[in-house]
Amino acid sequence: MDFIIILQNLLNGFGNTVLLFAITLIAALPLGLLIAFGSMSKFIPIKAFCRGLVWVIRGTPLLLQVLLVTLVPFYVFNIGNTEIISFLGIKMKTLLFSYACLAFIINYGCYFSEIIRGAIESVPKGQFEAGKVLGMTKGQIFRKVILFQVIKKSLAPASNEIITLVKDTALASIAGVIELYTSAEHLVNQFIVLTPLLYAAIFYLIFNGVLTLLFAYLEKKMSFYKE
């Protein structure tokens, strides 16, 4: 019967891992695009802000960032978590999960922004110029000419980051989120066996295995042209 309980707990944890992963991915990609544009902006304050943000976020541990986000409301604004949850009418669990999401989204947004910026800057200038000469607007040039090339160029480096993200979700434990790793750890302490950790490893491997296949498929899909 222990096995069933262990599996149930791990599945719950895995659910949180997948949710954190999905929310981070969905929000961090557009945020990354935004920060990438910001870092290339001709308006110096925006450019400086974005480059500075990326420098700070990439230069400090994600673990530290997650912890910091959970502490800011109380230590900076002097608002306790209990006040926040009663004000918003949400569960404590949800609040802690949101903190983790926020930290992850900012962190991965910065990493993605550098990948996207590199990709945009590596699209030959002639592509922009050809669009201009054909009377396209800046928006049309970006959407119809540049974007697809940027996606193709970003795919391999982004898939590396995304696979790292799967494993990084374990860091949400510092915010009190019971994701896959934390649930395994709890089970180890509860049942005094190591198998939950082994199972957790298998979960991570399967998840990343599926992602690896997916990225290989996408890369193949996009290989219909070469430069």
* Footprint of another protein (CB under 8 A): 124, 126-127, 129-138, 140, 144-145, 148-149, 152, 224-227
Shortest reach from residue 113's CB to another protein, in Å: 23
Closer Cβ to another protein, 52 or 124, answer by number: 124
- H/E segment holding residue 176: none
Closer Cβ to another protein, 106 or 146, answer by number: 146
Q: Which two tokens stand for residue 62?
A: 């994600």
Rounded (5°) CA angle 21-94-201: 40
Shortest reach from residue 45's CB to another protein, in Å: 23
Whether the Cβ atoms of residue 152 and residue 222 lie closer than 8 Å to each other: yes
Shortest reach from residue 224's CB to another protein, in Å: 7
Closer Cβ to another protein, 91 or 132, answer by number: 132
Closer Cβ to another protein, 82 or 137, answer by number: 137
Closer Cβ to another protein, 43 or 225, answer by number: 225
Shortest reach from residue 147's CB to another protein, in Å: 10
Whether the Cβ atoms of residue 101 and residue 169 lie closer than 8 Å to each other: no
Q: What is the DSSP string of 5-23?
A: HHHHHHHHHHHHHHHHHHH
Closer Cβ to another protein, 64 or 130, answer by number: 130
Q: What's the DSSP call for residue 139?
A: H
- H/E segment holding residue 132: helix 125-133
CA distance 92 to 50: 32
Shortest reach from residue 223's CB to another protein, in Å: 10
Closer Cβ to another protein, 89 or 126, answer by number: 126
CA distance 8 to 184: 11
Shortest reach from residue 109's CB to another protein, in Å: 26
Spatial CB neighbours of 216, under 8 Å, sequence gap ≥ 6: none
Residues 162-183 as b/e (b if ≥16 CB within 10 A, e otherwise) read: bbebbebbbbbbbbbbbbbbbb
Shortest reach from residue 155's CB to another protein, in Å: 13
